[in-house]
Amino acid sequence: MSEQRVRIDREAEGRVAVVVLTRPEKHNALDRPMFDAIDAATREIRALAEAGEISAVVLRGEGKSFCSGLDIQAIIGDGADFAGSTTALLEKDAGDIANLVQRVSYHWKAVPVPVIAALHGNVLGGGLQIALGADIRIAAPDAKLAIAEIRWGLIPDMAITPALPKLIGIDHAKELTLTGRNVTGTEAAQLGLVTRTAEDPAAEALALATEIASKSPLAVTRAKQLFDEVWEATDEQRLATEERLQREILDHVADAAAAQG
């Protein structure tokens, strides 16, 4: 895992893992190394939880923002092949229903202990979808959240569909997705997009994680399992639909670029 992108700290006598996105100069925007580092972090955290070493996880961003979404320039590089560069992120590992961009959100669900996201600054596009993979979200009142992909002519496809239907109504989901508008942490809490607000979400998330870690480890894991199992429908079709529709858009963009070239 790249130390330049993600760091894992331990708090509460080691019982709480704090996963920190560490690209503050770019508001923790998502380039390929960031995707790879978060993907690796989910695997490491899951292993720690399954080994009984941790009882809760805090996920936060270093610097002025949690995560400002896709770093378009870094993904494209020196070229201008946006469709081709983005399609490269949609590859799956053998046996996994989620592709790389979906895994950085969806695989937090596989962590058997609670994951608490602390949100501040920009929480945009892919950044919001990563946060939606957590069990609980605590946001600063002035945090700026958006399902921003429509601004780039794309749909949200980072495992938003398994998460969002459990949180908000379909009308709100469509409005936020179709407009790409920003909402504050306060409005997000009113909509149900985040759990609650706090002036210092990182401190609040750590306090909550520490409290959870003081409880019976077995009861904590089984309580999360209980609600995940009774709330869940199948996610495989949801994730596959995200990918299929995004590929259709990217293929169209590539065809248009080829016709112009």
Q: What are phi and psi of 138, to 5 degrees?
A: -115, 125
d(CA 208, CA 56): 9
- Where does the pLDDT of residue 258 fall: very low under 50, low under 70, confident under 90, or very high at 90 and above? confident
In-domain check, residue 221? yes
d(CA 104, CA 78): 25
pLDDT number for residue 2: 43
In-domain check, residue 86? yes
Q: Which two tokens stand for residue 194?
A: 């985040």
In-domain check, residue 206? no
In-domain check, residue 158? yes
Task: Give residue-wise pLDDT tens across range 18-33.
Answer: 999 999 999 999 999 9
pLDDT number for residue 83: 64
d(CA 259, CA 261): 5
Q: Lowest mean pLDDT of 74-78, 156-160, 243-247, name the range.
A: 74-78
d(CA 56, CA 1): 20
In-domain check, residue 208? no
Distances (CA, A) of 166 to 16, 36, 55, 173, 230: 26, 27, 24, 11, 12
Strand stretches in the chain, DSSP E: 6-11, 16-21, 56-61, 115-119, 122-124, 136-139, 144-146, 183-184, 196-197
- Where does the pLDDT of residue 80 fall: very low under 50, low under 70, confident under 90, or very high at 90 and above? low
d(CA 114, CA 136): 8
Q: Lowest mean pLDDT of 84-98, 100-114, 137-151, 164-178, name the range.
A: 84-98
pLDDT number for residue 144: 98
Domain span at residue 63 reads 6-200+213-260
Distances (CA, A) of 176 to 169, 181, 248, 253: 11, 6, 22, 23
pLDDT number for residue 128: 98
In-domain check, residue 207? no
The CATH code of the domain that includes 171 is: 3.90.226.10
In-domain check, residue 1? no
Asked if 114 and 146 count as a contact pair (C-beta separation under 8 A), the reply is no
Distances (CA, A) of 17 to 33, 45, 54, 121, 179: 21, 8, 7, 22, 36
Mean predicted confidence (pLDDT) in 71-97: 74
- A 10 A CB-CB count for 234 gives 9
Give the count of domains, the chain: 1
What's the chain's average pLDDT? Answer: 92
Q: What percentage of the chain carries pLDDT values higher than 70?
A: 94
d(CA 143, CA 80): 31
In-domain check, residue 143? yes
Mean predicted confidence (pLDDT) in 174-178: 98
For residues 148 and 248, the model is more confident at 148
What does DSSP say about strands 136-139 and 196-197: parallel, antiparallel, or unpaired? parallel
pLDDT number for residue 185: 98
For residues 109 and 241, the model is more confident at 109
